C-alpha cells in the first residue's frame, strides 16, 4: 500500500492538513515550498518516493481547495454540513450539560427516531456493559418518520426542560432535513464498470489532484521522477491512484508502459476532463456530479473514443463539446449559476440569523466565513471563465500559486514525542499559531512545536480567515461524532468520549 | 448474550473474516454491507474497497481468538488495516507485523466489554 499520505483537505472547515513523519520530510517540504531550489533527492534515499510526495503536496492539496471552490456539490455539501452543525450546536450543548441522564446514544438522530420498544431492546443490550450507577439513558420524544424542516432560527438558550426538549426536537429535524439533502451529493455510484465498491465523488477529486501533483513532480524534480511517481501510483497506490492511472491510460491514449519507454504522454485531454467533471450545476441534476461525469466520460471514451475527443479541439472547446454532448448547462453559465445558488443560501441564513444578531453571533460568524469562501470562488471562476486554460493546464495554474485563492493550513509534526524545536520556526509568518492540537506536554510547549497553523501557503488577495476555521474545527468534531460518527476516526472518537466523560459526566455510546 | 459491533476492512479480508466469525459461533447473525459514503471517504485511501461486518458478538468471546481470526483474514487481503467499533470503544488496527498479543490488546481497547 501507498504510505506517502502526507496531506488532506477538509471541506467542512475549509482547511488543509499536512502531516510530517520526520524532520527530514519537513526540511524537504520547506525547500520545495519556498520555490527557491530543486530539493535534494539522493538516488539511494530509503524514502525517495516519500520525499517526492511531500515535496509536491502543496500543489495536490491546493488543487483540492480550488476544485472545492469550483464544484457545486462539494461546496454546497460543505455549507449544508456547517448549517447542520449550527442547528445542532444548541441541542448538543444542552445534552452535555443536562443532569437528567448519564448516557447519550449516538447517532443522536437514529436514537431519537427509535420507538420506545426498540430503545428498550438497545438499553437491555447496552446496560450490562455500563457501570450500574450510570445507566440513565437520554430518552427524547420520538422523532416522527416524516418531518418538515423548520424555518425558524434556533439561537435562544432554553429556560426550562420543556423548552429544551422542543429546541432539541427542532434542531434534530433541521439536521435530518439537511442530511437528506446532502446524501445524494456525496453518495456517488455503486458498482460501476470502473470497479467494485462505491464510486464516490472523491475518485474525481483525487484524479484532479493527482494529475496536478504529477505535473508538479515533473516541474520540481524532472521527467524521470515523474515516471517514478506514476510507477509508484500504479504499483503501490490506493484505489484512487489506480483509478487515476486507468484514467490516464484511457484519456491520454497511452498505455502505462509508454511512460517507462520515455514516450511522450498527451496530457491536455486528461487535464480538460479533470476540470470539466467539476463544473456541473443544480440544473444538471445527477449528471452534474463529478463522479457521474467521470464515469460517463470513461464509458464513452472506451466505446467511441473519436466522438469524445474529436481532433483539433482546444481544452475549452472540448469542455463545450462535452456539455453539448451530455445536454449539460454550458460550463461558464453553470459556474455562474452555482455562485448565485450559494449566494442565495447565504443571504437566507444571514436574514434568518440577523434577526437575532446578539444571540446568533456564532452562527453569523459562520456565515461570514462562507462569505469569504464565496469571494474566493468569485475570484477563481472569474479567471476560469475568462481563460479556462489557466486552470485546466496544471503547468499554467502552478506558475504563480499566490495569484489563486488560499485557505488555512494545519501542519502536524509527529517526529519525536516532543515535536520540533521552536527555533526552527523563526522564519515562519508572524501570525502562525502553534500547539493548538498537538500532544506536546505542557512542560515542553514553550520550547517545542507539535503543530503549526498557517493562515495560508502563500499570501493572496483572496483567502479564508484562519481564526474561525480553527474555532470550528474544535466544535465540528463533536458534532460529527454525534450526528455522523462514520466520518470520525476512532482515535478522535475515543478522545471525544473521554472528554465528554471527564468534562460533563456523559457516557457516549455508539449505536451499531 | 451479544453486543453489536462493526468491523471495517478490505473486501477480501472481510469476506473471509465474516465466514470465520459465523462458523465459529462468535457472531451468529453477522451481516455485511458496503461501507457508507462517509466511511469510504475516510478509509478508502488506505483500505481500497471498504466492506463492513455488522453483528452481535457473543460477550464470552476471547479477544485473543478474535486477534487470531483478524490476522488470518488480513493475510488474504492487500490492506492490513481493520477498524473495530463497539458501543464504547473504537480502534484502527494496523495488523502488518503485529503479534497476536499486540492485536489482542488493540481489540480490548475497542471492545472493553470482552474483559
More confident residue, A237 or A435: A435
Whether the pLDDT of residue A310 is over 60: the answer is yes
Select from B1, B92, B110 the Cβ nearest to the Cβ of A489: B92
Taking only the tens place, the pLDDT of each residue in A446-497 is 889 999 999 999 999 999 999 888 888 877 889 999 999 998 999 999 999 9
Q: Are residues B49 and A197, on separate chains, in Cβ contact within 8 Å?
A: yes
Number of Cβ within 10 Å of residue A442's Cβ equals 7
Long-range contacts of residues A185-192, Cβ cutoff 8 Å, at least 24 apart: A185/A73, A185/A74, A185/A76, A185/A77, A185/A289, A186/A73, A186/A77, A186/B37, A186/B38, A186/B41, A187/B37, A188/A289, A188/A291, A188/A292, A188/B37, A189/A291, A189/A292, A189/A295, A190/B34, A192/A295
B7 is written with which cell numbers? Answer: 468491523
pLDDT tens digits, residue range A329-346?
999 999 999 999 999 999
Give the whole-number percent of chain B exceeding pLDDT 90: 78
- ipTM of the modeled complex: 0.94
Q: Is B110 on the interface with A (CB under 8 A)?
A: yes
pLDDT for res A183:
86
Instruction: Inspect the interface and report whether the beta carbons of B41 and A487 lie closer than 8 Å.
Output: yes
A370-382 per-position pLDDT tens digit: 999 999 999 999 9
Inter-residue contact A199 to A188 (CB < 8 Å): yes
Contact A200 B37 (CB under 8 A): yes
β-strand A507-510 against A448-449: which pairing, if any?
unpaired
Q: What angle do CA A73, A512, B80 make, to 5 degrees?
A: 75
Q: What angle do CA A370, A486, A285 make, to 5 degrees?
A: 55
CB atoms A129 and B87 under 8 Å? yes
Distance, in Å, from the CA atom of A430 to the CA atom of A408, rounded to the nearest integer, reads: 14
Q: What is the pLDDT of residue A261?
A: 45
More confident residue, A153 or B40: B40
Contacts of A322 by beta carbon, 8 Å cutoff, 6+ apart:
A276, A297, A308, A328
* pLDDT one-digit tens code per residue, A94-127: 899 999 999 999 999 999 999 999 999 999 999 9
How many residue pairs bridge chain A and chain B with CB atoms within 8 Å of each other? 100
The residue in chain A having the minimum alpha-carbon distance to the alpha carbon of residue B88 is A509
Query: CB–CB of A352/A153 below 8 Å?
Result: yes
Alpha carbon distance A202, A68 (integer Å): 11
CA–CA min distance B49, chain A (Å): 5
Give the CA diameter of chain B: 36
Residues in chain A with CB shorter than 8 Å from the CB of B44 are: 197, 200, 202, 238-240
Distance of CA B110 to the CA centre of its chain: 10
Check residues A151 and B96 and name the one with the higher pLDDT. Answer: B96
The closest alpha carbon to A337, from A389, A391, A283, A373, belongs to A283
Q: What are phi and psi of A309, to 5 degrees?
A: -125, 70
Mean pLDDT, residues A26-53:
91
Beta strands in A130-273 (DSSP E): 189-192, 195-199
Residue A484's nearest CA partner among A95, A188, A88, A191 is: A88
Return the residue of B nearest to A496 by Cα. Answer: B89
Amino acid at each position: 500500500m501507498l504510505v506517502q499520505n502526507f496531506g488532506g483537505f477538509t471541506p467542512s472547515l475549509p482547511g488543509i492538513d499536512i502531516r510530517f513523519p520526520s524532520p527530514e520530510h519537513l526540511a524537504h517540504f520547506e525547500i520545495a515550498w519556498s520555490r527557491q531550489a530543486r530539493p535534494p533527492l539522493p538516488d539511494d534515499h530509503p524514502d525517495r518516493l516519500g520525499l517526492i510526495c511531500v515535496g509536491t503536496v502543496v500543489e495536490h492539496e491546493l488543487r483540492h481547495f480550488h476544485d472545492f471552490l469550483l464544484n457545486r456539490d462539494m461546496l454546497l455539501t460543505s455549507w449544508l454540513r456547517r448549517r447542520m452543525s449550527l442547528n445542532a450546536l444548541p441541542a448538543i450543548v444542552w445534552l452535555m450539560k443536562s443532569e437528567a441522564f448519564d448516557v447519550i446514544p449516538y447517532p443522536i438522530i437514529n436514537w431519537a427516531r427509535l420507538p420506545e420498544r426498540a430503545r428498550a431492546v438497545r438499553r437491555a443490550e447496552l446496560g450490562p456493559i455500563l457501570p450500574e450507577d450510570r445507566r440513565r439513558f437520554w430518552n427524547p420524544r420520538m422523532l416522527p418518520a416524516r418531518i418538515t424542516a423548520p424555518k425558524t432560527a434556533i439561537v435562544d438558550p432554553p429556560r426550562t426542560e420543556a423548552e429544551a426538549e422542543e429546541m432539541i426536537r427542532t434542531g434534530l429535524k433541521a439536521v435530518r432535513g439537511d442530511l437528506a439533502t446532502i446524501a445524494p451529493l456525496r453518495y456517488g455510484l455503486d458498482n460501476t464498470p470502473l470497479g467494485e465498491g462505491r464510486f464516490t465523488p472523491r475518485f474525481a477529486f483525487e484524479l484532479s489532484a493527482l494529475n496536478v501533483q504529477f505535473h508538479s513532480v515533473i516541474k520540481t524534480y524532472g521527467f524521470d521522477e515523474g515516471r517514478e511517481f506514476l510507477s509508484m501510483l500504479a504499483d503501490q497506490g490506493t484505489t484512487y491512484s489506480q483509478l487515476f492511472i486507468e484514467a490516464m491510460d484511457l484519456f491520454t491514449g497511452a498505455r502505462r508502459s509508454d511512460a517507462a519507454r520515455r514516450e511522450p504522454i498527451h496530457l491536455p485531454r486528461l487535464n480538460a476532463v479533470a476540470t470539466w467533471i467539476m463544473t456541473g450545476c443544480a440544473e444538471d441534476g445527477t449528471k452534474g456530479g463529478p463522479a457521474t461525469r467521470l464515469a460517463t466520460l470513461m464509458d464513452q471514451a472506451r466505446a467511441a473514443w473519436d466522438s469524445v475527443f474529436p481532433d483539433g479541439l482546444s481544452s475549452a472547446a472540448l469542455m463545450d463539446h462535452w456539455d453539448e454532448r451530455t445536454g449539460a448547462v454550458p460550463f461558464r453559465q453553470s459556474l455562474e449559476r452555482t455562485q448565485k445558488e450559494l449566494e442565495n443560501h447565504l443571504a437566507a441564513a444571514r436574514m434568518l440569523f440577523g434577526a437575532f444578531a446578539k444571540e446568533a453571533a456564532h452562527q453569523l460568524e459562520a456565515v461570514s466565513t462562507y462569505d469569504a469562501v464565496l469571494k474566493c470562488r468569485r475570484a477563481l471562476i472569474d479567471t476560469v471563465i475568462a481563460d479556462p486554460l489557466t486552470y485546466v493546464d496544471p503547468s499554467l495554474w502552478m506558475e504563480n500559486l499566490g495569484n489563486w485563492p488560499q485557505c488555512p493550513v494545519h501542519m502536524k509534526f509527529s517526529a519525536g514525542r516532543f515535536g520540533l524545536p521552536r527555533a526552527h520556526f523563526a522564519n515562519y509568518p508572524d501570525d502562525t499559531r502553534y500547539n493548538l492540537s498537538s500532544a506536546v506536554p505542557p512542560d515542553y510547549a514553550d520550547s517545542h512545536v507539535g503543530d503549526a497553523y498557517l493562515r495560508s501557503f502563500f499570501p493572496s488577495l483572496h483567502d479564508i480567515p484562519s481564526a474561525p476555521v480553527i474555532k470550528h474545527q474544535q466544535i465540528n468534531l463533536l458534532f460529527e461524532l454525534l450526528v455522523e460518527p462514520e466520518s470520525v476516526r476512532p482515535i478522535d472518537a475515543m478522545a471525544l468520549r473521554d472528554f465528554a466523560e471527564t468534562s460533563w459526566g456523559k457516557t457516549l455510546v455508539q449505536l451499531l | 448474550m451479544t453486543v453489536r459491533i462493526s468491523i471495517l476492512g478490505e473486501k477480501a479480508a472481510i469476506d473471509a473474516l465474516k465466514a470465520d466469525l459465523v462458523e465459529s459461533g462468535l457472531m451468529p447473525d453477522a451481516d455485511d454491507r458496503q461501507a457508507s459514503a462517509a466511511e469510504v471517504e475516510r478509509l478508502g485511501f488506505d483500505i481500497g474497497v471498504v466492506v463492513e461486518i455488522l453483528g452481535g458478538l457473543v460477550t464470552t468471546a476471547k479477544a485473543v481468538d478474535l486477534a487470531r481470526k483478524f490476522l488470518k483474514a488480513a493475510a488474504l487481503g492487500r490492506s492490513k488495516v481493520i477498524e473495530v467499533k463497539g458501543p464504547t470503544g473504537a480502534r484502527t488496527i494496523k495488523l502488518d507485523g503485529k503479534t497476536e498479543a499486540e492485536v489482542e490488546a488493540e481489540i480490548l481497547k475497542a471492545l472493553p466489554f470482552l474483559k
